[in-house]
Amino acid sequence: PEEDQLAVLMAIQAVPVGIHRMSPDIDNLVQTSNNLARVEIEDGTIGLHCLCRSSVDSEKNDHANSIACAFGLAGLQTEFSGQYPGWMPNPSSAIVATMKELYEEKYNESPRVIACHAGLECGILGTNYPEMDMVSFGPNIRGAHSPDECVQISSVQKFWEFFLEALQRIPNQP
């Protein structure tokens, strides 16, 4: 019915989409956001798929609950699935310092150290090992998780060699 269509459209309009909060600690880093990723209609049922992410789990949960409330006010049910924990990077950690030092020695240039607003395995590992000092790095990838995803082949060998040397150096750290 038309009133159901209007309720769905109003709920979509009410859901916060985009950046919700920037990191107070790392310049230009999104901390919490939501993306209305997909709308599906199948057998008379509509599914609205959002991707809510944050490096701070409590913020992600609060933001997801706000989204659920917007849908709930329109009489729509909400289900959460496929969630993964956040990870707050620490650019001044010992492991980052070790990796920067190794990179500078090996390549005679400073590495580009950045934080990104993405779901990384570090969030899962950090949940199980909260005291672990972590860094995420890898070859040059463009268009991750899209049909356009590709890797710069020459960066894979460079990454692998760097990784092996890092493994040799890290056990010597306190």
Interval 94-125: pLDDT, tens: 999 999 999 999 999 999 998 888 877 898 99
Give the C-alpha distances (Å, rounded to integers) separating 153 from 118, 138, 148: 22, 12, 15
| Residue 66 sits in the same domain as residue 98 | no
Residue type, 131: E
Residues with Cβ within 8 Å of 23's Cβ and at least 6 positions away in sequence, in order, are 29, 30, 31, 55, 115
Give first-to-last CA distance, the chain, whole Å. Answer: 66
Residue 18: inside a domain: yes
Range of the domain at 112: 94-172
Residue 80: inside a domain: no
| Residue 124 sits in the same domain as residue 68 | no
- Does pLDDT of 5 surpass 90? no
Q: Is the dihedral of CA 115, 119, 121, 126 positive or negative?
A: positive
Residue 124: inside a domain: yes
CA angle, residues 140, 146, 147, in degrees to nearest 5: 105
- As for how many domains the chain has, the answer is 2
| Residue 147 sits in the same domain as residue 99 | yes
Domain end, chosen from 73, 107, 133, is at 73
Residue type, 128: N
| Residue 113 sits in the same domain as residue 60 | no
pLDDT, mean of residues 86-99: 90
Q: Could you give the CA distance from residue 89 to residue 118 in angstroms, rounded to a whole number?
A: 11
What's the confidence (pLDDT) of residue 1? 76
- Does pLDDT of 173 surpass 70? no
| Residue 155 sits in the same domain as residue 98 | yes
Residue 82: inside a domain: no
